[in-house]
Structure 1
């Protein structure tokens, strides 16, 4: 066996152990064996689970990304309370993403994957009949895993995972037994996907989301009743110097990756980045973890940091994942924007329409991170922000790397998106978002050809 094969095998073992650690910790949190508000540590979990610290660390990083836990500097890691309001807000976004996901699954699943979906459907039906919450939890986890495998789209996976995580947690925390009607619907959607019936799968998914909304509202009422008898709120995590510096490090490293100063063909080290940025190792290390979570880098244990190779980026998959998220972003901004922000969007739109040669400033307006931050802030949905911001970063990097020129047509359509959002025309905004993404795809393919 070659040294390369040995390294690959070792990486697969670590990944498998990290998945095992993640699944185990998540189940412990969901079942309440690790209570909400409690503090946990990497060392304690490693000893308790009998798993090494590296896979436990990876599992905790994923749980942080999915907002199940929060690291508290110099104290440990706090298990977050279930936020049913955020769960309810995220369901409409999940609905849009899963429309894309289930269409892909119904179309792309191979024969053995369809057989597995049918077996999972039977198991979920059994869990509903027998009120076996452990069986329901494990079956749901396997269903989510096969969705990831069939879609074969890491961007879509990255977008949907936090919504799945909070849904599992709320559902299995609040439901003493599987809700029969909901579990039966999940069983049905597995069956529809297995049979390739996209329309039935999407229709059933709408029923599932609606059932989850009703379930969430009922759970919120129960939580409010319990809160009258207890409890102190979660302690607030104050921003500190390390967090501010890690944010600076993140922005600067991201800018350099997008600008091509750090390329996919080279490996970086913490030491070099500290020297380049003039920052200490702690903020740089935290920034690298965030960049890895957003697929801009890959952290290779004991070998450094590998920057994303934009030449190998699945552009079609990226656009596919962006479509439902961009539609929801436009919809939420339509609903939430203040009069002042609407005026700002109209001014930006007018600037895009002004007759002048296409230049670098147009690209900056279209892809500027500050405008993105304003839009997601107005949308006021943290899970949407978690899903869409990383994909925007990858899109910026891809377009810059490919040296794609921003055409007048793209600028015009983008200005029309802003006009529709500013005037609160929800349907038109969603249509214009689709048109904008289609224009970007057309320009990219034209440049490649």
Structure 2
């Protein structure tokens, strides 16, 4: 496996640790701890950390360690504003540009999302892969670079605050499936509407965390 593939593997492994809060928000960890947790070398870990820092999923403090930042409703709402615009562009381009080799895995993913028995780990991978299929079908590398960190951060917030896993996974799977099926029909209007519905759900989810906190005080 080449160095690029190792760095990609390290990125995926660290992102998963962060998204599922296996690295506690607010904690300071070292590169040595991360190499031990992932079983990967220091070079791919360091490369992955630089990328995660650009994506605002970690803060690197030289000679001190790597800070895992806490999530906040305010940041989630701000990034969702930008994510909506980029995802509307992504689905519009995917409707226009998706090739047959793009469409086949989308069809398979749409069928997979029809399931109602995902574990949290399975659902996390499914959502990440769904967004990857859509962005690849848009055939714009700049868009892919811009949208990936926003999706990663908002996914992290969702997994950090989900209460009823079964209900929320079902809702999320239905919304993501609607986006894919609209793209497969090359229905730009429906695809954009499906993206707006997903965004509305995520915004309402963020506000619900505020209401939950108020009841816990």
Same fold (TM over 0.5): yes
How many positions carry a matched residue from both structures?
Answer: 214
**2:147 aligned residue (156, 160, 165):** 160
**2:52 aligned residue (63, 71, 82):** 63
**1:195 aligned residue (175, 179, 185):** 185
Which structure would you say has the larger Rg?
1
Gaps of 5+ in 2: none
State yes or no: 1:186 paired with 2:173: no
**2:113 aligned residue (124, 128, 131):** 124
RMSD: 1.8
Aligned residue for 1:37? 26
TM-aligned CA distance change 1:174 to 1:201, over 3 Å = same
Distance 1:38 1:108 in 2: 43
User: Shift of residue 73 of structure 1?
Assistant: 3.2
Q: Please give the secondary structure, in 1, of the residue aligned with 2:60.
A: strand
Aligned residue for 2:136? 149
Matches within 5 A, 1:5-154: 13-126=2-115, 129-154=116-141
Structure 1 runs of 4+ aligned residues shifted over 6 Å read none
User: Shift of residue 224 of structure 1?
Assistant: 5.2
* Greater relative contact order (CA < 8 Å, ≥ 6 in sequence): 2
TM-aligned CA distance change 1:58 to 1:155, over 3 Å = same
Provide Cα deviations, 1:113-164, integer angstroms capped at 9, x if missing partner: 11101211222231xx125222210011112222332233232122212211
Matches within 5 A, 1:18-417: 18-126=7-115, 129-176=116-163, 177=165, 179=168, 180-223=170-213, 228=217
User: Shift of residue 217 of structure 1?
Assistant: 0.4
* Contact residue 186 and residue 208 of structure 1 kept, 8 A: yes
User: Shift of residue 195 of structure 1?
Assistant: 2.6
Distance 2:7 2:133 in 1: 18
